[in-house]
Structure 1
Amino acid sequence: MKAGIERRFWGLGLALLPGVAAMPVQAETCVIDDAEREVCLAQPANRIVALSPGATELVFAAGAGDRVVGVVSFSDYPPEAKQRQSVGSHTRLDLETVLALEPDLLVGWVTGNPHEQLEKLLRLEVPLYLSEPRRFEEVATSLERLSTLAGTRELGQGAADEFRAGVAELRARHADARPVRVFYQVWDEPLMTVNDEHLISQAMSLCGGENVFGELPRLVPRIGEEAVLTADPEAIVAGGMGEANRDWLGDWERYEELSAVRRDNLFFVPPSLIQRPTPRLLEGTRMLCDHLETARGRD
């Protein structure tokens, strides 16, 4: 998986840029980011700009929230993040504002930030850590790596250990649960879901769920309503256009032939709890597990 991320990133020609190479050997602290690049700092980062809402959450969770000086739009957790300087959106960064903040570390999003803007930042030799956890364990290691760069290792390690313990507890609790066939809706127009490589599908598996579209080749495939009717999931789980918007689930109620509709197994999980690769993924997964346990009781 990481090799694929690395190929997509380095395919842009970034390996030829002067800012990509590791800093000189006298650098004191180095980690490997999610694009398999070595990121080195001569001293702990004191001015961090996070270039995605998920990156913002990870840095705060790693104990370095007081070092964050800039965030992108929709960086709404923790609440303190809303007080930081905005540097645009994750899809269009305000590079002038980013540079004016004089960051000593940027935390970017491998596949979410504009590649041409990341290239420019690398040319300017701004230290850039690329983040994109694709496994539960990678959420924990992200906390460890980011806290290493920020000099908050003890806090980051504690958060990582707590996350791992929560994952282990859920895995043990649902190890022998009856499988439930699940369709997770990640978007409405076009209708989109996730395959088994996605963290959301891994959360389903942790709860004893089976992703009815898990074998599709794309990470976030587009599908049609007819495909959902054919798959006939036992449960439908959706986020929505907001943290409390259940409208997408209501759209399925007209299909009374669906097992999920017939059994009233239409469940909502706030999108920020399950669609961001952060420690709050554990909270969203617990909610998902509770929903699937309810579905098991409605055979």
Structure 2
Amino acid sequence: MRRRLILLFGIVLLLWGPAEAAPLTVVDDAGRSVTLDGPPKRIMTLTPGNTEILFALGAEDRIVTVDQWSDVPPAAKAKPRVAPFNLSVEQIVRFSPDLILSTYGSAEPLLPLERQGIRVMIFAPRTLDDIYRNILLMGRIVDAEARAESLVRAMRQRVTAVVAKVGDAPKPKVFIEFDGSDPGRPFTAGPGSFIDVLIGLAGGVNVAAHSRTTWPQFSLEELISADPDLIILSDALAPLHPQTPELVAQRPGWSGLRAVRRGTIVAIDANVISRPGPRIVEGLELLARLLHPDRFR
């Protein structure tokens, strides 16, 4: 009797065919509701952070193209590459994506494509919780929810471990430089950026935390007034005007800064703290070690 029921069930499945994927409606970081017919099969990712998330979720086979800066993991370099701010409709059509992952700035010109069935999602996280949310959301989109949950759980555990180590430590003042092309007004990370959040979690005080914009240009006068204990150069590998501790120490007006006098100027790879993806925890751990080396021996 049991064998007959199993056989009958199999026949029913063959007659009905495989069930179609149910539509999925999600909300992106711009507050837009985006409805997908099912898990996307051809994804165009236009930011390195989104590329790293998809690889971490095992969805790299769905990526048809990446942005020109996506270089982690190494396999990402083998994907076709595009310049996200110079995309043409012809390029997009050639790759035939059913989903484009973008961010503010590069996304707006792409939105009309939704009338042709190409969905566009905007990811612009401002906090670690936003990054966690986006990883979980992408897990739902590519049908890798369990893997996304495991990844976020591991990230949270590492963050908790860092916070526990530096929680009662003194909080040095930190200035992170992102673009020192104009040494009199270098760009830095201000309020509303996840980098500002990272500095706080790492046990430091961001001297630009009270700036009026998220990515302010910090004047020399402001820097002298703040007098940071540590200057971190994330523009050491910049393609134009790369900076080094030696160059910074020679800037006019900078010699009186505490960090310059003490030699506490450090160059790092900006990608580890500026890409909102799985490696952001590595960025937090790096900052914490720079701020509190005695807690990580």
Shared fold, TM over 0.5: yes
- Give the alignment's TM-score, normalised by structure 2: 0.84
Deviations 1:64-101 (A, max 9, x none): 11211111101111111111112x21222233222222
Q: Is the 8 A contact 2:101 2:122 kept in 1?
A: yes
Q: Is the 8 A contact 1:63 1:147 kept in 2?
A: no
Give the CA RMSD over aligned residues.
Answer: 2.3
2: distance between equivalents of 1:238 and 1:262? Answer: 16
Q: Secondary structure at the match of 1:236?
A: strand
Deviation at 1:30, TM superposition (A): 2.4
2: distance between equivalents of 1:112 and 1:61? Answer: 25
2: distance between equivalents of 1:118 and 1:43? Answer: 20
Could you tell me which of 242, 246, 250 is aligned with 1:250? 246
2: distance between equivalents of 1:27 and 1:130? Answer: 22
Instruction: Please tell me whether Structure 1 or Structure 2 has the larger radius of gyration of its CA atoms.
Output: 2
Deviation at 1:248, TM superposition (A): 4.0
Matched, 1:73 2:68: yes
1: distance between equivalents of 2:131 and 2:70? Answer: 18
Equivalent residue, structure 1, for 2:284: 285
Deviations 1:240-292 (A, max 9, x none): 15279972433321333211112221112211100111111111111111111
Number of aligned residue pairs: give it: 269
Question: Counterparts of 1:1-299 in structure 2 under 5 Å?
Answer: 27-86=22-81, 88-109=82-103, 111-113=104-106, 115=108, 117-190=109-182, 191-240=186-235, 242=237, 247-254=243-250, 255-294=254-293
Q: Is the 8 A contact 2:107 2:122 kept in 1?
A: no
| Structure 2 portions without partners, runs of 5+ | 1-20
2: distance between equivalents of 1:166 and 1:31? Answer: 28
Deviation at 1:114, TM superposition (A): 5.3
Equivalent residue, structure 2, for 1:3: none
Q: Secondary structure at the match of 1:63?
A: coil
Deviations 1:101-159 (A, max 9, x none): 221211111x24152x2233233331112111111011111111011111111222211
Q: Is the 8 A contact 1:204 1:210 kept in 2?
A: yes
Q: Secondary structure at the match of 1:233?
A: coil
Percent identical residues: 28
| Structure 1 portions without partners, runs of 5+ | 1-25
Task: Give the letter aligned to residue 249 of structure 2.
Answer: E
Which is worse superposed, 69-78 or 120-129?
Answer: 120-129
Q: Secondary structure at the match of 1:186?
A: strand
**Residues 227 and 159 from structure 1, CA distance in 2 versus in 1: closer, same or farther, beyond 3 angstroms?**
same
- Give the alignment's TM-score, normalised by structure 1: 0.83
**Residues 106 and 152 from structure 1, CA distance in 2 versus in 1: closer, same or farther, beyond 3 angstroms?**
same
**Residues 140 and 63 from structure 1, CA distance in 2 versus in 1: closer, same or farther, beyond 3 angstroms?**
farther
2: distance between equivalents of 1:260 and 1:163? Answer: 31
